[in-house]
Amino acid sequence: MDNKKLAELLFPHVNKTPEDYEAMYPPRELPEGARVTRLGPSPTGFIHLGNLFGAITDERMAHQSGGVFYLRIEDTDEKRKVEGAVDVVIDTLRYFGVEFDEGAMKVGEKGDYGPYYQRQRADIYHCFAKKLVEEGKAYPCFCTEEELSAMREKQEAEKANFGYYGKWATHRHWDLPQIEEELKKGTPYVLRFRAPEPEGKYFKIKDAIRGELSMPVNDMDFVLLKSDGIPTYHFAHVVDDHLMRTTHVVRGEEWLATLPFHVALFGAMGWKAPVYCHTAQLMKIDNGVKRKLSKRKDPELSLDYYKSEGYLPGAVWEYLMTVLNSNFEEWRMQNPTAPIDDFKFSPAKMGVSGSLFDLDKLNDVSKNYLATLDAETVYSYITEWAKECDAEYYELLTRDPAFSLGMISIGRGDPKPRKDISHWKQSKEFYSFFFDELFRREDEFPENVSPEDRAEILRRYAEGYDHSDNQSQWFGKIRAIAEDMGYAPQPKLYKKNPEAYKGHVGDVSGVIRVAITGRQNSPDIWAVQQVLGEERSLNRIKNAL
C-alpha cells in the first residue's frame, strides 16, 4: 500500500512536518534531574480532592527538583466543558498553595510550549497522525456503531476478548482503492493505531510509585482520532507530553489499564516515554468498609468543602502529606517546627492500593497545626472566614476585638498549647460560650452535688468573688468553700477516704465551670472569667442560681 498517498489523502491540510514541531518545542534547558510535570484537568468545573492530591504530587516533584509544573487543559470533550472552569482550577489550587509556573492562566497563557488547550492543538495532532499513517502505523476505520456492536456480540459468543484487534480489525487490511472509495462517498471514519505484532506476551515498565510492573503487550488498534478529527485522550497526551517535554506523568490509577497502549504509542512515534506515576484511589472507611470517595455521598471530596468549613489550607496540606508520603509523620515528629517545604517528597513513598482519607485524622492534624499559631493570626483568619461564611459570627467576633483576642489567646503560646480548634466553623461551636447570644447550658451540673449544695456553692462563690484575684487566690477560695461544705479540698484526700466527704474540690469547681461555661469540659475557668469580665461572670453565676 502506498502509505504516503494515503496520508496525503487523509491530511491534505497539514502543512508542517514533525521536524518543524520538534524545532518549535526543543528540549527544555533545565538543570540535571529537574522534573517537568503537568496537571491535565478536563474543564468540567468540578475539582476535587483527588485533583488536589495529584496536583500536590506534581507540584512537589517539579519544584523540589528545580523543574516546571504546568497546567494543560484537556478540553477535547466539548460536551463536558463548563464556562469558567479554568478559573475554578487555578483559584482553587491557589487557595491550597499550589501554583503553576506555566500553561493556561486566568488570562491567556504563559510559556513556550503552548497552546495549552488541547482544542487549539488540532494541527499538531494531525501532523503526527499523518506521520503515523505515512509509516503504516495508523489507518482509517469506517466501521459503523452497528458493525462494532455486532462484532462485540460475536466476540461475546466466541468468548474472545473485546476490542478491535487481530482478525477482528476488519479495516486494518483494506487497500488504497477500497479506502479511496469510502472517502469519496464521504463515509465518516476514525483513525486507528495499527498495533505492532506483539513480541512476547508481557513487558516490564517502571512506575515511580508502583515500582516495576509487568504488563500485557498491547494488541489493540485503539482510536487515535475520532470521526470529527479530535484526538482521544491517549493520542493527545502522548503528543503533548512529548512536545511539552514532560518528564513525569502523574495520573490516577484508572489509566493503568491503557498504559500498554500509551507505551506502544510512544514507541511507534520513536519517542522516549515519560516516567509514569499512577496514584492510588482515595478511599474512606464507611461503617467499617473501605470504599471510594463518592461525589454524591461525601461532601469532603469537593474542595469547596474545606473553604466553606474554614479549614486552613496549610493544615489541609499538612494532613495530605501524611496521606501522600508514608514517612511524613515520622519526619514531622522529628522536625516539629520545620517548614513543610523542607520535607523531601518522594513518589516511591506513596501508597499503591487505596489511600485512606479520614476526616477525624484531618481534624487532629489541623488541631496540632492551629495550636502553633499566635492569637492575632488566628483572629485574622477566623474573621476573614466568618466575613464570607457566617455573618452572625463575624459580628460577634469584631464588635470587641480585644475580647475576641483574649478568648483566642487562652491556652495559646504555652509549651503545651491547647488543641481545641480544627477549623473555623467548629471554632464557633467551641467559642460559643463566650458570647451571651450563643451561650447555653450544654452539660448537666456534676450529679454528685445536690441541688441545695449547688445553690450554696454558687451563692458563696458569688459573694466572695473578686475579679482582681490571681489564679491561686481564686482557687484558694474555691478550696475553702469545698472544705467548709464537706468536700475534700484535694481529690487525693477524697480518694483515700471517700466516706468522710460528700465529694472533692473538683466537684465544687465543676459546678462553677458549668455555670460559667455551660460545659463540664472547658479551658481554665479563671482565664475564661478574665476574658468575660466581672459583670458577665457574675451574671452567669446568678443566672445559674
Return the SS3 of 220.
strand
Selected from 6, 10, 36, 40, the binder of ligand GLU by CB under 6 A is 40
Selected from 35, 130, 171, 251, the binder of ligand GLU by CB under 6 A is 251
The answer to whether residues 418 and 410 touch, using CB atoms and an 8 Å cutoff, is yes
Q: Is 363 in the site for ligand GLU (CB under 6 A)?
A: no
Q: Is 121 in the site for ligand GLU (CB under 6 A)?
A: no
Q: 42 or 509: whose CB is closer to ligand GLU?
A: 42
> Whole-angstrom Cα distance, residue 132 to residue 385?
54
Q: 40 or 231: whose CB is closer to ligand GLU?
A: 40
Q: 41 or 510: whose CB is closer to ligand GLU?
A: 41
Q: 215 or 256: whose CB is closer to ligand GLU?
A: 256
> Whole-angstrom Cα distance, residue 261 to residue 206?
15
Q: Report, in Å, the least distance between residue 295 CB and ligand GLU.
A: 14
Q: Is 237 in the site for ligand GLU (CB under 6 A)?
A: yes
Q: 251 or 367: whose CB is closer to ligand GLU?
A: 251
What is the SS3 assignment for 368-404? HHHHCCCHHHHHHHHHHHHHHHCHHHHHHHHCCHHHH
> Whole-angstrom Cα distance, residue 10 to residue 7?
5
Q: Closest by alpha carbon to 370, among 453, 299, 327, 427?
A: 427
Cα 504 to its chain centre, rounded Å, is 49
Q: Which stretch binds ligand GLU (CB under 6 A): 40-48, 150-158, 307-315, 519-527?
A: 40-48
Q: Report, in Å, the least distance between residue 251 CB and ligand GLU.
A: 4
The answer to whether residues 56 and 317 touch, using CB atoms and an 8 Å cutoff, is yes
Q: Which stretch binds ligand GLU (CB under 6 A): 36-44, 320-328, 499-507, 511-519?
A: 36-44
Crossing angle for the helix pair 424-431 and 375-389, nearest 10 degrees?
100
Interface of this chain with ligand GLU, residues 421 to 460, rule: CB under 6 A: none
Residue type, 347: P
Q: Which stretch binds ligand GLU (CB under 6 A): 35-43, 338-346, 422-430, 488-496?
A: 35-43
Q: Is 130 in the site for ligand GLU (CB under 6 A)?
A: no
The answer to whether residues 345 and 325 touch, using CB atoms and an 8 Å cutoff, is yes
Return the SS3 of 282.
strand
Please state, as a whole number, how many other Cβ atoms lie within 10 Å of the Cβ of residue 521: 10
Selected from 10, 11, 42, 121, the binder of ligand GLU by CB under 6 A is 42
Q: 42 or 517: whose CB is closer to ligand GLU?
A: 42
Q: 40 or 260: whose CB is closer to ligand GLU?
A: 40
Q: C-alpha angle with apex 28: 24 to 30, nearest 5 degrees?
A: 165
> Whole-angstrom Cα distance, residue 490 to residue 446?
17
Q: Is 74 in the site for ligand GLU (CB under 6 A)?
A: yes
Q: Is 41 in the site for ligand GLU (CB under 6 A)?
A: yes
Q: Which stretch binds ligand GLU (CB under 6 A): 20-28, 37-45, 435-443, 532-540?
A: 37-45
Return the SS3 of 390.
coil
Phi, psi for 271 (deg, rounded to 5): -110, 155
Number of residues that bind ligand GLU (CB under 6 A): 7
Instruction: Give the N- to C-terminal CA distance of the chain in Å, as an integer.
Output: 100
Q: 47 or 370: whose CB is closer to ligand GLU?
A: 47
Q: Which residues are near ligand GLU by CB under 6 A?
A: 40-42, 74, 237, 249, 251
